[in-house]
Structure 1
Amino acid sequence: MNIIPLGERMEFIEELAALHHSEWGHLNPSLTLEKRIGKLASLAGGRSIPSIFIATSGNELIGSAALVLEDMQSRPDLSPWLAAVYVKEKYRSQGVASALVAKCEYEAKRSKVDTLYLYTEFASKLYERLGWRSLEPCMYRDVSVNIMYKEI
């Protein structure tokens, strides 16, 4: 498995956008697939914030994770965010998400970030195992989520 900036393998952008749209489209119905591709392209360039990393195995995309300045419009006081952590189902429970999160934490630390934030619907246990702590449960766009943080 390799973890690289999306910008190094732009041939995966449409597939990644479709995966993200399928997973999180309910959180922002106005974000069309085309707009999602544009948003990913804006993150694809580098290793600082904002940026997006992908996990690949040979010529297959297997997952992603991003660093963004804003991820919850209702919490502009929190920044930056770990976002878009996604692993294809057949690769789950194999350490891919942990490696992607570790890569983002490393890049955030290189960018002099002290604390990262994320929100999740279902993966709080995973992030707790990786050292993240719950900040608060809340409703975001009519969905129950848990805001978490990690001092890095």
Structure 2
Amino acid sequence: MDNYSILCIREEPDLLNCAADWFHEKWGIPREEYYKSMNQCLLNNQSIPQWYVAILNGNIIGGLGVIENDFHDRKDLSPNICALYVEKTYRNQGVAGRLLDYACSDMKKYGIEALYLMTDHTSFYERYGWKFLCMVQGDGDNHLSRMYVHRAP
């Protein structure tokens, strides 16, 4: 499936409200938090935060963000991929991999060579060139989660 586009919110400001609603629906984080972060990427012209969506026929089918810290105790491991989600209908078709690659390439334009992400998944991110780094404590979590790193070639 190659007929979808990956767009950066900073380049498509008309997607701001729709994207904030979509991420809120997927993750349950208050819509205002997504809106504020996405609006910040429009106003600041800085590398962080950034938000990306995969669009098919005018609908968001996947997305992710890049923020300073994805709510964990290792503040030195920054910036972080966050909120990666692909609609169930479009999973196992490479959408997540393309979103990850796109975000990594875009961040490299800003001179950011390493990105981090926290997850409970095992063996998913390795397919896309991510390497397990260490275990981290998520804010408010009683368990440790896996921290991965991706370094630009």
**Where does residue 145 of structure 1 map in the other structure?**
145
Match of 1:3 among 6, 16, 20: 6
Q: Judging changes above 3 Å, is the alpha-carbon distance between structure 1 residues 89 and 15 closer, same or farther for their aligned structure 2 residues? A: farther
Any idea what SS the aligned residue of 2:111 has?
Answer: coil
Matched letter for residue 87 of structure 2:
K
Corresponding position of 1:78: 77
**CA–CA distance in 2 between the matches of 1:12 and 1:132?**
29
- Structure 1 residues 80 and 35, CA gap change in structure 2 (3 angstroms): closer
Could you tell me which amino acid in structure 1 is paired with residue 148 of structure 2? Answer: M
Gaps of 5+ in 2: none
Q: Residue 128 of structure 1 is aligned with which of 120, 126, 131? A: 126
| Higher mean C-alpha deviation, range 85-94 or range 47-56 | 47-56
Question: How many residues matched?
Answer: 146
What is the identity percentage for the equivalent residue pairs of Structure 1 and Structure 2?
28
Aligned to 1:28: none
Does residue 1:41 correspond to 2:39, yes or no? yes
| 2-structure distance, mates of 1:14, 1:74 | 30
- Relative to structure 1, is the Cα distance of residues 146 and 73 closer, same or farther in structure 2, using a 3 angstrom cutoff? closer
Secondary structure in 2 matching 1:125: coil
Counterpart Cα distance in 2 of 1:23 and 1:13: 16
Identify the range of structure 1 (133-142 vs 59-68) with the bigger mean alpha-carbon deviation. Answer: 133-142
Pick which of 45-54 and 64-73 moved more.
45-54
On the 8 A contact 1:12/1:61 being kept in 2, the answer is no
Gaps of 5+ in 1: 26-30
Superposition RMSD on alpha carbons, in Å? 2.4
Alpha-carbon displacement from aligned partner over 1:69-111 (angstroms, at most 9, x marks no partner):
2223522111122222111111111111100000011012211
SS at match of 2:137: strand
Q: 2:20 — aligned with what?
A: 17
> Moved runs in structure 1, 4+ residues, more than 6 A?
none
- Residue 24 of structure 1 and its aligned partner are, at CA, apart by 3.5
Give secondary structure in 1 for the equivalent of 2:78.
coil
Asked if structure 2 preserves the Cα contact closer than 8 Å seen for 1:118 and 1:149, the reply is: yes
Q: Which residue in 2 is equivalent to 1:115?
A: 114
Q: 1:51 to 1:65 in 2, by over 3 A?
A: same
How big is the shift at 1:34?
Answer: 2.6
